[in-house]
Amino acid sequence: MAIYWIGDIQGCDAPLGQFMDQVDFSASRDRLYVLGDLVNRGPASLQVLRRLSKLDNSVQCVLGNHDLHLLALNAGAKKPGKSDTLQEVLTADDKEPLLNWLRYQALAIYQEDVLMVHAGVLPQWTLADTLGLAQELQDILRGPDATDFFMQMYGNEPSQWHAELTGMARWRCALNALTRIRFCSPSGQMEFETKEGAAKAPSGYLPWFEIPQRQTANITIAFGHWSTLGAVDRSDVWALDTGCVWGGCLTGLRRDKPTDKPLRIELKCPSYQSPF
């Protein structure tokens, strides 16, 4: 059995299929973890959802900001943006089972001795905090209040985590950390404007995984989201979004045993030119 992790797919089904063919992925033998942003920006989000949902228990995904955006569009909480490429999903005959499958994916997974999130974690959070907050959000997404949540989901505030936060302020702050964070301050203040690599950190901020005394510093964390980050030469941080949708690579890691050093696999992808 082989275990694979892959970064952001963003509607690029052809590279995903090529990757799985290249590694000879078997749903009966292997396991696949996808680190969020399955959909949007690329040309074939519907095909990505169909491909992954058919893999049943051999695949687990964490939700990214674009996946949540798709669920919000379907709930009528937001109008499509000019660069969205999700209309084919929203008008598909099998939309409901596909989006129900997506809704039941996680916001954080801890398996194989690896914590998996789409974007990152705040420095104050322990592993238990991260999984607990993710579970709170997952319960909302799968419950009767999901539409109300989507109506209030968008926004950058509060950008500073406090354990005393309640209600929508608590959930939005936690969701933004799990699905949108790149830079934060040592106290956990998040900064959302800068999308360049680590060298362009705003004054007073660091990449979230470089914050001193981070409570998850002893845990291997796999994440996507940050396509401009570049190479991160660390065994405890697996950054796997390498800009597939922008003409970069679809990047994955393979382990055959939990004690193995991960083998990096990169599949060069064609650049997708948005029609908008």
Per-residue pLDDT tens digits for 149-164: 999 999 999 999 999 9
173 vs 260: which has the higher pLDDT = 173
- How many CB atoms are closer than 10 A to CB 180? 17
Residue 258 has pLDDT above 80, yes or no: no
Residue 266 has pLDDT above 60, yes or no: yes
CA dist., res. 207 & res. 185, Å (int): 9
Q: Read off the pLDDT of each residue in 100-104 and give the average, rounded to a whole number.
A: 98
Q: Read off the pLDDT of each residue in 88-105 and give the average, rounded to a whole number.
A: 98
Q: What is the rounded (10 degree) CA torsion for 54, 245, 269, 37?
A: -30
Quick one: what percent of the chain has pLDDT higher than 90?
93
141, containing H or E segment: helix 127-141
Domain boundaries, the chain: 3-268
| Domain 3-268 in CATH 3.60.21.10 | yes
Evaluate if pTM is beyond 0.85.
yes
What burial class does residue 136 get, using C-beta atoms within 10 Å of its C-beta: 0-12 exposed, 13-18 middle, 19+ buried?
A: middle
Q: Read off the pLDDT of each residue in 173-191 and give the average, rounded to a whole number.
A: 97
If pLDDT is split at 50, 70 and 90, which confidence band does 238 have?
very high
- How many CB atoms are closer than 10 A to CB 50? 17
Residues in the chain: 276
Q: Read off the pLDDT of each residue in 40-46 and give the average, rounded to a whole number.
A: 97
CA dist., res. 160 & res. 41, Å (int): 29
Mean pLDDT over the full length of the chain: 95
pLDDT of residue 273: 56
| The Cα angle at residue 132 between residues 170 and 124, in degrees rounded to 5 | 65
